[in-house]
Structure 1
């Protein structure tokens, strides 16, 4: 329990140590109570007697009971022994005893409430911050335990009146009792009939049985918001059968169930008064009659609109014209206001010092303040404040601002004060972590603010010295005037310089934005040009087979061209070590031998593929077959080329140049100062051998790169001298024309 209280940020707990360093007690400090001691007008700013009274009340209500060292025993409170699910929730409503009268009666909430639950349940729900249904369940549990009673006041007619909530323990403490027959245990009491009803008639609250449907539709008697209590709403009116329900509006009549006169109070006309007049089915009867007949159809006519629809239309029109339904909307909006702080623990800690101001806000204002508090917590986290310490820091800021104001009682506009003065950060310098001269991340004084103060003091001292030197004969008043004038001039110059620097920064930012926009536009144009070029390239025919939209080269001929390139590269790598580079014939012979060897390997791989593939599938799609054969050739070359490269490095590593490089590296490693005492030792020989091997590999790689460069230059020179035949006119190699067996 102690770690949970410490993490909540609401209670500060210190341990008391014994003689041997063991924990012998706890010192708990409720931080909201402690912070409210110096706040004028705060609800928690109580005197010592008030604290003692509050403590005794809490003991009597929810204290678990304990034994003191002097032998005295404090018994458990009314709900102190309550455990299990909902125990903590059931304890909170009993705090209403703080406002209970001597008779035990509790003050219920005002305004519009949920009539299905009752005002007592609504009071408990508002205290807990939950729905009326949940409040009613809590109230029922308290009633089952005998902790509270819902009492009905009796009227002279014997009908039940509004309900009241009573705490019997408070009444008993003041020597009063609550009548048991006044307590309502299970909803409204059943009405006692005053007469003995015959079997064929309907009893109280019961519609008489009938075999025919009612001829007139029933309408609501009153708005639901004006019913006193759901438990007794049915007992406040005489029971009537639904067949004779009136079809007029409450606004036109006096609300009596047997009314038959018009709105002017005149006597009703004879029954046939409207039957003697012409009737227009579109506009209704032209004559006037009773309030029931006005606007309604005659006998035998079909009604154009039911009375219920007319009543609903009248209510909608009244709402649009600023009638009473708008008040219901306002009451609903007011019910959305939360009495307690937000459920988020971080916000509860941060807004704890201004809980009284929070209660004075409307629902919309509470949402705005909650959003502003979340944004401020996020800003504190961004400037380097730990996430778990940001709520406490914001609470300290609000406490300091309240102390500057003089307490919550002097705040006349809570919303404006919280948004514009309480929550925002006030930077007294240019540092982003400065708040009223204090660093947010370290809690120490802001060094930048100290520098600003130091510079201002130095400026004032320098100006004073200049005034004394230039005008030595001035009096104190004249000297002060001159000093203030020069300081104002300096402040004006600084302000002008600040404006100039700000304008310059804006111009630079505008130039950067323009350059960034130009770069983005250029990049977009480049992407568009590349996309257009790619579109044009994709529309080109294949150079080898003429396939349309092949991007200049189809898949098959692309594989074949890459294969030819790898064959030429393998020939150059082999000629780099096997032939005299100055003898063109020797180089050509080596390249021809390599080509023949690789073509033989390609044919073997293609034959293996053709034997493994399905002949019918190959015959059905010859283009795919050609592409697969070309890819097989390319794959064979990609596996063979590393072997040629490795062989070339191995052969070039045995050349005199590589041997000389290896010997130099070996001697250099042996001659190092840490091997001079024993250059032929095991360690020295091992390191020297490794260095010689590395030098030999580097020499071989260099020789291979140099010889390949020389061979490529010679091949390029011969290509420029000879006119190359077009790609389509060249005779293809034998491995290009491989065909499946049996074709």
Structure 2
């Protein structure tokens, strides 16, 4: 698809499977989609793994969740994510297949294997890669007996799209694989194999997620006695929580932060601090505890109900500020992708802090977009930076001050050299090592080696310690000199910038003065009267007189064109006679055009606007002369083409073309004669045009000479002769 200038603006493609389904498959074919269904499917694919683009005069389309996934298995991962999204409920949980599954793979891998048509082991690898990419979360349901219940697979994009709370699920999914060593329904392995039909036949239903109280005492089909691990493991997967007193430390064996760490959070149903029970045991008692609550717990509950979760009085407006904060990430998809690795830190920020972090993230995204060659990659680049910074810190759980960490360490760029594209020694546009940083290191090493060699030559008697001390002193001196030179160059650059700004301001001021002078001159010119008819406010020449001047010039030009072939150019009287005949013919044409207008126009309208009527009549005369001039020019070219000069030029061109080397073997053949005739006609036309231009130039020079002679003032000698 091209525009009016021929530049490509689009591409029309015929997708053969869709075309066959629509023409031969019938209404029941899976690919027999209407326009709305196909648009919805394409929009879903764009959100999942589209590469993103920025169309002209439209909103930009951000890259999908797997846009940066390349290499081996990338296509399989995209297909698996698309099929799982299409088979996921609004809650975000994937509909799992029923029947017997292998212990190693689990029910989620079996479901994905059924969707992809591959083996469960291959599907398990795909599921692991999608989990590592942060689009899939795997978890086991918690039971009242604290046994690992039925395995579940959540599609995080679907859950986020429907506004589900994902803090605990994302924390569990980030801790590693949470597949049970023994899948739910293990007793079914001994039963006859049942071929599962549609997805979700014996999977998890919507009613299963209603409440934990409805769970059975043990998972469905589990044996009476579970197989314990050799070492003690947490009851649930490690939670990246806020470090409450009595909370499990997970598998890392770290020391807890402190007893009262973040116990002064608001009592809110959306925060982990609001619950008074243990997040590990749920509603049931811990080992060794009595079912009845102690008086200490009752007093703690009363104090929490009166003063907040930490038992301290809160400042006025504190609860309002906590209520205004957003638990979920911003609605902007670019920010959601960029801040995805720190979603748990985002939940710990107040409303004001979230607004400041969002502003900082937007500014950093705008800065990164200006550095990248391809648009749309800034969110993923910022997400990778946050992931690397979290890895340096040791994880989100070790961040004591989320706001300070995000604004002072996580979101800021840390250049290792003077290149704006450098971030921690990595090029932001290419992702490779920064060459400038390598040059800096090389220069420093070379300088150190050169200085050490100079010291060795100058002071060969020094010991190792003394030589090292002298080397460090000289390197510090060189660094100080370079710092002073850098300051001097910075001052020079600042002065040069100021000079350029001053020159630019002076140029802008000069341009403004010229514009004002031109506007004043134009206003003065518009106030002048017409030079021919004296009409006021006509800008020196009114419209009707302008048309008359152009008409007179074209009449003179038409007379010269006619005289170029029909008159003797050396005889001025003959030239004037031909010009007079042409003027009379054109005057007749002008009169006919004038009569036609007067007959068609109402008399009252012409009397009401005499100036407009004069302009229309003058324009009609100009159009009549313009229509007659091409005919006179064509007639002159035809007559001049039959002159002796043109015929001689045509004969020479004919012989030249006939004597070409490819016509020498048969110069009188059909092809040779046709080519020679065409060349002769072209030469004849060129000769006629040249003769017309030459004769018109001669006539103009003669007319200019007569005009100069007529306008020259008479001197004394001329007056005596006269």
Residue 70 (structure 1) aligns with: 189
Residue among 11, 14, 24 paired with 2:119: 24
Residue among 439, 452, 457 paired with 2:440: 452
Asked if 1:693 corresponds to 2:681, the answer is yes
Q: Determine helix, strand or coil for the equivalent of 1:349.
A: helix
Residue among 488, 493, 500 paired with 1:512: 500
Residue 158 (structure 1) aligns with: none
The 1:341/1:29 distance shift into structure 2, 3 A limit, reads farther
Q: How big is each residue's C-alpha offset from its partner over 1:493-546, in whole Å with a ceiling of 9 and x where there is no partner?
A: 333333333333333333322222222222222221221111111111122322
Within 5 Å, which residues of 2 pair with 1:216-615? 329-384=317-372, 386=374, 389-615=377-603
Aligned residue pairs total: 514
Contact 2:138–2:153 (Cα < 8 Å) also in 1: no
Residue 735 (structure 1) aligns with: none
Residue among 149, 157, 163 paired with 1:56: 149
Mapped to 1, the partners of 2:436 and 2:481 lie a distance apart of 22
Q: How big is each residue's C-alpha offset from its partner over 1:335-373, in whole Å with a ceiling of 9 and x where there is no partner?
A: 111223334444333223323322222111111112222
The 1:79/1:531 distance shift into structure 2, 3 A limit, reads same
Contact 2:558–2:582 (Cα < 8 Å) also in 1: yes
Q: How big is each residue's C-alpha offset from its partner over 1:93-151, in whole Å with a ceiling of 9 and x where there is no partner?
A: 999x999xxxxxxxxxx9999xxxxx9xx72xx379xxxxxxxxxxxxxxxxxxxxxxx
Within 5 Å, which residues of 2 pair with 1:710-721? 710-721=698-709
Q: CA deviation at 1:53?
A: 6.6
Structure 2 residues not aligned, in runs of 5+: 1-40, 50-63, 81-108, 155-168, 170-178, 216-234, 240-262, 293-304, 714-722
The 1:621/1:407 distance shift into structure 2, 3 A limit, reads closer
Instruction: Name the larger-Rg structure.
Output: 1
Contact 1:361–1:414 (Cα < 8 Å) also in 2: yes
Q: CA deviation at 1:80?
A: 3.7
Mapped to 2, the partners of 1:403 and 1:32 lie a distance apart of 20
Q: CA deviation at 1:596?
A: 0.7
Q: Determine helix, strand or coil for the equivalent of 1:623.
A: helix
Q: Determine helix, strand or coil for the equivalent of 2:119.
A: strand
Residue 206 (structure 2) aligns with: 82
Q: How big is each residue's C-alpha offset from its partner over 1:227-276, in whole Å with a ceiling of 9 and x where there is no partner?
A: x9xxxxxxxxxxxxxxxxxxxxxxxxxxxxxxxxxxxxxxxxxxxxxxxx
Q: CA deviation at 1:556?
A: 2.0
Mapped to 2, the partners of 1:112 and 1:595 lie a distance apart of 101
Residue 33 (structure 2) aligns with: none
Contact 1:60–1:77 (Cα < 8 Å) also in 2: no
Mapped to 1, the partners of 2:213 and 2:634 lie a distance apart of 88
Contact 2:149–2:184 (Cα < 8 Å) also in 1: no
Q: CA deviation at 1:406?
A: 3.6
The 1:608/1:423 distance shift into structure 2, 3 A limit, reads same
Q: How big is each residue's C-alpha offset from its partner over 1:615-646, in whole Å with a ceiling of 9 and x where there is no partner?
A: 34334444333222212111111211222222
Residue 709 (structure 1) aligns with: 697
Q: Determine helix, strand or coil for the equivalent of 2:495.
A: helix
Q: Determine helix, strand or coil for the equivalent of 2:412.
A: coil
- State the TM-score, normalizing by the size of structure 1: 0.58
Q: CA deviation at 1:595?
A: 0.6
Mapped to 1, the partners of 2:465 and 2:583 lie a distance apart of 108
Q: How big is each residue's C-alpha offset from its partner over 1:1-59, in whole Å with a ceiling of 9 and x where there is no partner?
A: 997766545999757999xx9622323557897599xxxxxxx9999x99x97963765
Mapped to 2, the partners of 1:513 and 1:78 lie a distance apart of 74
Which stretch shows the higher mean deviation, 592-601 or 441-450?
Answer: 441-450
The 1:93/1:406 distance shift into structure 2, 3 A limit, reads farther
The 1:496/1:29 distance shift into structure 2, 3 A limit, reads farther
The 1:632/1:46 distance shift into structure 2, 3 A limit, reads closer
Structure 1 residues not aligned, in runs of 5+: 37-43, 100-109, 114-118, 129-162, 179-224, 229-323, 726-743
- State the TM-score, normalizing by the size of structure 2: 0.60
Contact 1:65–1:80 (Cα < 8 Å) also in 2: no
Q: How big is each residue's C-alpha offset from its partner over 1:560-600, in whole Å with a ceiling of 9 and x where there is no partner?
A: 12211111111122222222222211211111111111001
Q: How big is each residue's C-alpha offset from its partner over 1:452-491, in whole Å with a ceiling of 9 and x where there is no partner?
A: 2222222222333333233333222222223223333333
